[in-house]
Amino acid sequence: MIEQKSETGVFTCTATIDPAFVIAPVPHRLFGSFVEHMGRSVYGGIYEPGHPEADVNGLRLDVVKLTKELGVSAVRYPGGNFVSGYRWEDGVGPREQRPVALDLAWRSLEPNTFGLNEFMTWARQTEVEPIMAVNLGTRGVEDACNLLEYANFPGGTRYSDLRIAHGVREPHNIRTWCLGNEMDGPWQIGQKTATEYGRLAAETAKAMRRVDPDIELVACGSSNERMPTFGSWEATVLDEAYDVVDYISLHAYFEQHGDDRVGFLASADTMDRFIEGVIATCDHIGAKKRSRRRINLSFDEWNLWYESRFVGQDRLDWARAPRLIEDEYTVEDAVVLGNLLMSLLRHSDRVTIACLAQLVNVIAPIRTEPDTGAWRQTIFYPFALTARHARGEVLRVAVDSPTLYSRTLGDVSAVDLTATREPDSGDIAVFAVNRDEHQSARLRLRMGIDGAHEVVEHVVLGGDDLLATNSKETPGRVIPRSSTRHGIEDGFLDVELPPVSWSMIRTTPIR
Other CB atoms within a 10 A radius of the CB of residue 55 amount to 13
Are both 464 and 353 inside the same structural domain? Answer: no
383 neighbors 13 (Cβ within 8 angstroms): no
From 389, 406, 423, give the residue that closes a domain. Answer: 389
Residue-wise pLDDT tens digits, 133-165: 999 999 999 999 999 999 999 999 999 999 999
| pLDDT, mean over the chain | 95
Catalytic residue flag (residue 422): no
Annotated catalytic residue, options 182, 234, 332, 496: 182
* Domain assignment of residue 239, yes or no: no
Range of the domain at 373: 27-214+250-261+297-389
Are both 400 and 382 inside the same structural domain? Answer: no
Are both 31 and 17 inside the same structural domain? Answer: no
Residue 126's closest CA among 191, 33, 49? 33
433, amino acid identity: V
CATH number at residue 409: 2.60.40.1180
* Domain assignment of residue 139, yes or no: yes
Are both 322 and 179 inside the same structural domain? Answer: yes
Distance CA 37, CA 77 (A): 8
Residue-wise pLDDT tens digits, 373-391: 999 999 999 999 999 999 9
Above pLDDT 90, what percent of the chain? Answer: 92
* Domain assignment of residue 271, yes or no: no
E strand or H helix at 28, and its extent? Answer: none
From 322, 354, 389, give the residue that closes a domain. Answer: 389
pLDDT of residue 1: 43
pLDDT bucket at 8, cuts 50 / 70 / 90: low
Residue-wise pLDDT tens digits, 157-183: 999 999 999 999 999 999 999 999 999
pLDDT bucket at 7, cuts 50 / 70 / 90: very low
Are both 385 and 402 inside the same structural domain? Answer: no
Are both 366 and 400 inside the same structural domain? Answer: no
Are both 139 and 17 inside the same structural domain? Answer: no
* Domain assignment of residue 185, yes or no: yes
Distance CA 384, CA 22 (A): 23
User: CA 85 → CA 89, 188, 256, 454, distances in Å?
Assistant: 12, 9, 32, 54
From 349, 372, 389, give the residue that closes a domain. Answer: 389
Catalytic residue flag (residue 301): yes
How many domains does the chain contain in total? Answer: 2
Residue-wise pLDDT tens digits, 265-306: 999 999 999 999 999 999 999 999 999 999 999 999 999 999
* Domain assignment of residue 229, yes or no: no
Residue-wise pLDDT tens digits, 39-49: 999 999 999 99
Annotated catalytic residue, options 149, 225, 301, 496: 301
Are both 440 and 312 inside the same structural domain? Answer: no
CATH number at residue 336: 3.20.20.80
Are both 207 and 175 inside the same structural domain? Answer: yes
Burial of 171 (0-12, 13-18, 19+ CB in 10 A): middle
